[in-house]
């Protein structure tokens, strides 16, 4: 009985293994087979050499076109600072107030002195009028006594007394006129003192020289302001330039008015700039010279931003592909090439981007047909070329309008 049970067990196991063994020789189920791809109608670009303008890159820093260190013209204690770093201010806005009590006291004293001088001038004018009246009376008396002396109607002593009174009246008149002249001179001096005092009082209020942004606040209320020591640093609003140090070898190629593309890394944005100034003096240690590039007004620009200026260079022949035809996976770049009616993925080494096109460094050759829409095909998929275009700037594009059927 035991022998029969063992034989039955072996036969049962063989029957279980048999389907598995026989299944190995069968074809894969239809669900696991790779589906047949239908042909894709694509537009391809026939690669050709084109003229490509070289550029050279120079790093630089964004600076304000105009900046000012706001400081006091006199020594005095700061009462209040009305702006902080980052504040936008308008031209003429009050920024700093100094303690002006002593200056205002001096102004009041000068104004009081002028009032006294005005009173002195008024008194001198009245004295002149009185002296003039006395002189006129003495003159008439003298003339009458002179006539009576000729007629022997008055004595010589009476005549001399009339003449003395006339001379005394003239002297009094001259003295009154002198006092008035002195008072008028003191009035001019008082006016000068008042003007000086008012200017000094005005120095106690410091205003913004132009509209801009406060970039730093150096002193606060209670500090002592002195001439030449900055209280605030102010950059003019909206007007910025990029300062770049250009290599000595490029001295003759950088010209005022030259168009330059500026790339600001932090903003991930490019700007069209123009060379506004070239400093011809070279730095002997770095063998570079400074150039300023005027930037367009943009609220996102800030002083101190790092950027790169792309200066135009010479023209050379290069092979390029449209950036839209390139597929990137990490650091790997590839394109699809229509080869014998089939799309083949081709790895390529590509260079700088310019005008929407990448320069081909290796992996592709002139004459190959690159699929312009890589998302429309798969590797190994049959393709039907619907349209063939030529690279902009190539000879084929110039003769055929950039497109051939």
- What confidence score (pLDDT) does residue 35 get? 65
- What confidence score (pLDDT) does residue 377 get? 92
In this prediction, residues 107-118 reach a mean pLDDT of 91
Find the domain containing 124 and state its range.
101-200
Tokens (6 digits) for 158? 């009476």
Tokens (6 digits) for 180? 């008035």
Residues 105, 128 within the same domain: yes
How confident is the model over 329-352, as pLDDT tens digits? 988 999 999 998 999 999 999 988
Going through 125-268 in order, the beta strands assigned E by DSSP cover 205-207, 212-217, 224-225, 230-236, 240-247, 259-264
- What confidence score (pLDDT) does residue 396 get? 65
Residues 338 and 42 sit within 8 Å (Cβ to Cβ):
yes
Q: Per-residue confidence at 14, pLDDT binned at 50, 70, 90?
A: very low
Taking residue 267's Cβ as centre, other Cβ atoms within 10 Å add up to: 14
Beta bridge partners of 69: 233
Residues 395, 340 within the same domain: yes
Residues 143, 195 within the same domain: yes
How many domains does the chain fold into?
3
Residues 180, 144 within the same domain: yes
Which three-class secondary structure state does DSSP give residue 380?
coil
Q: Is residue 56 part of a domain?
A: no
CATH number at residue 77: 2.40.50.100
Q: Is residue 397 part of a domain?
A: yes
Answer yes or no: is pLDDT of 241 > 80: yes
Q: What percent of the chain has a predicted confidence (pLDDT) above 90? A: 54
- What confidence score (pLDDT) does residue 34 get? 53
Q: Per-residue confidence at 402, pLDDT binned at 50, 70, 90?
A: very low
92: CB partners within 8 A, 6+ apart = 207, 208
Q: Is residue 400 part of a domain?
A: yes
How confident is the model over 16-74, as pLDDT tens digits? 343 443 444 444 444 445 567 889 999 999 999 888 877 788 999 999 988 899 999 99
Beta bridge partners of 51: 317
- Distance spanning both ends of the chain, measured CA to CA: 87
Q: Is residue 219 part of a domain?
A: yes
Query: How far is Cα 188 from Cα 401, in angstroms, rounded to an integer?
Result: 85
Residues 81, 158 within the same domain: no
CATH number at residue 189: 1.10.287.470
Q: Is residue 279 part of a domain?
A: no
In this prediction, residues 264-279 reach a mean pLDDT of 92
Residues 75, 46 within the same domain: no
Residues 44, 183 within the same domain: no
CATH number at residue 400: 2.40.420.20
- What confidence score (pLDDT) does residue 237 get? 81
Q: Is residue 282 part of a domain?
A: no
Residues 219, 341 within the same domain: no
Q: Is residue 225 part of a domain?
A: yes
Q: Is residue 23 part of a domain?
A: no
Answer yes or no: is pLDDT of 152 > 60: yes
- What confidence score (pLDDT) does residue 398 get? 57
Residues 91, 127 within the same domain: no
Residues 178, 127 within the same domain: yes
In this prediction, residues 254-259 reach a mean pLDDT of 92
Give the closest residue to 134 by CA, choosing from 168, 163, 158, 183: 168
Residues 83, 130 within the same domain: no
| Average pLDDT for the chain | 85
In this prediction, residues 80-103 reach a mean pLDDT of 93
Residues 73, 152 within the same domain: no
How confident is the model over 199-229, as pLDDT tens digits? 999 999 999 999 988 989 999 999 999 999 9
Answer yes or no: is pLDDT of 365 > 50: yes
């Amino acid at each position: 009985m035991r022998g029969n049970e063992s034989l039955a067990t072996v036969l049962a196991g063989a029957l279980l293994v048999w389907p598995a063994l026989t299944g190995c020789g069968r074809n894969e189920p239809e669900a696991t087979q790779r589906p047949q791809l239908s042909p894709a109608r694509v537009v391809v670009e026939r690669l050709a050499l084109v003229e490509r303008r070289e550029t050279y890159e120079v790093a630089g820093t964004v600076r304000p076109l105009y900046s000012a260190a706001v400081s006091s013209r006199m020594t005095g204690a700061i009462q209040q600072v009305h702006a902080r770093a980052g504040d936008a201010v308008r031209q003429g806005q009050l920024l700093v107030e100094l303690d002006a009590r002593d200056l205002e006291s001096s102004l009041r004293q000068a104004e009081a002195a002028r009032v006294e001088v005005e009173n002195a001038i008024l008194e001198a004018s009245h004295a002149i009028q009185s002296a003039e009246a006395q002189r006129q009376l003495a003159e008439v008396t003298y003339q009458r006594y002179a006539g009576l002396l000729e007629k022997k109607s008055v004595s010589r002593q009476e005549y001399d007394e009339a003449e003395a009174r006339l001379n005394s009246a003239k002297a009094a008149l001259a003295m009154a006129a002198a006092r008035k002249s002195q008072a008028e001179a003191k009035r001019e001096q008082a006016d000068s003192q008042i003007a000086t005092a008012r200017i000094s009082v005005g120095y106690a209020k410091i205003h913004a020289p132009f509209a801009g942004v406060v970039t730093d606040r150096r002193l606060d209320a209670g500090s002592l302001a002195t001439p030449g020591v900055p209280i605030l640093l102010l950059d003019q609003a909206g007007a910025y330039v990029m300062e770049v140090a250009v290599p000595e070898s490029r001295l003759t190629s950088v010209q005022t008015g030259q168009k330059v593309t500026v790339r600001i890394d932090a903003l991930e944005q490019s700007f069209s700039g123009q060379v506004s100034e070239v400093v011809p003096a070279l730095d002997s240690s770095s063998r570079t010279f400074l150039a300023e590039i005027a930037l367009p007004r943009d609220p996102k620009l800030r002083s101190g931003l790092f950027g790169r200026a792309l200066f135009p260079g010479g023209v050379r022949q290069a092979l390029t592909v449209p950036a839209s035809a390139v597929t990137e996976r990490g650091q790997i770049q590839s394109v699809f090439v229509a080869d014998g009616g089939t799309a083949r993925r081709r790895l390529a080494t590509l260079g700088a981007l310019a005008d929407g096109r990448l320069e081909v460094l290796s992996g592709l050759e002139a004459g190959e047909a690159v699929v312009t829409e890589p998302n429309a095909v798969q590797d190994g998929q049959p393709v039907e070329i619907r349209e063939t275009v030529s690279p902009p700037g190539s000879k084929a594009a110039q003769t055929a309008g950039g497109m051939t059927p």
